[in-house]
Amino acid sequence: MMINRTFAGYALCATIIVSTPLMAQHTTSLYELKTETLQGKPADLAAYRGKVTLVVNTASECGYTPQYEGLEALHKALAPKGFSVLGFPSNDFGQQEPGSAQEIAEFCRKNYGVTFPMFAKLSTRPGPGQSPIYAFLGTSGHLPEWNFGKYVIGKNGKVVAFFPSAVTPESTELRAAIANALNAVQ
């Protein structure tokens, strides 16, 4: 939107940028969005429609990085029930994910045996560079305050629970939220 004003004979022109990304305004399900894999290939999150997912903003050099082990165990244990962990590397907090996509993939595989889907590095923070994925997740009223924030996403692609970084993959409250989402009829 452009606003033009005249002040003391000078024309002023300002551009107002709406801070809410357009995608978040029209998206009703995470599973409507598209992104890229960590290998740079197109990825349609519609592939997870009908499943419960755990979306996590990850980082390789964080104090919470050992959570990769628990996330992988959770992914393997619950995959047969229609569940998947989805990892989204981000360098937003403490610049703790500085590596390239190849370096991130190698780190995850070598150190934690990660087999769950990992996607291209993105920005979780509000503003013009924010990923549409996190713009949508933010409509839940929660955005990560650090690495390893966790969103439980229901079969319909809507956020059913958010857990901050300190809540581990082994925690009873996270596991209960996942179990409830898996058992929900949607």
> Is 108 annotated in the active site?
no
Q: Record the pTM.
A: 0.86
Nearest partner of 117 among 85, 90, 158, judged by Cα? 85
**Distance from the Cα of residue 48 to its chain's centroid:** 14
Cβ neighbours around 103 below 10 Å, total:
12
Residue-wise pLDDT tens digits, 136-183: 999 999 999 999 999 999 999 999 999 999 999 999 999 999 999 999
Rounded-to-integer distance, Cα 78 and Cα 109, Å: 19
Integer angstrom CA distances of residue 159 from 103, 143, 156: 30, 12, 9
- Cβ neighbors of 145 (< 8 A, separation 6 or more) are 93, 164, 165
Tell me which CATH code domain 20-183 carries: 3.40.30.10
Choose the catalytic residue: 23, 46, 62, 179: 62
Euclidean distance between CA atoms 121 and 91, whole angstroms: 8
Mean pLDDT over 96-107 rounds to 97
pLDDT at 186: 64
Compute the distance between CA of residue 88 and CA of residue 84 in angstroms, rounded to an integer. Answer: 13
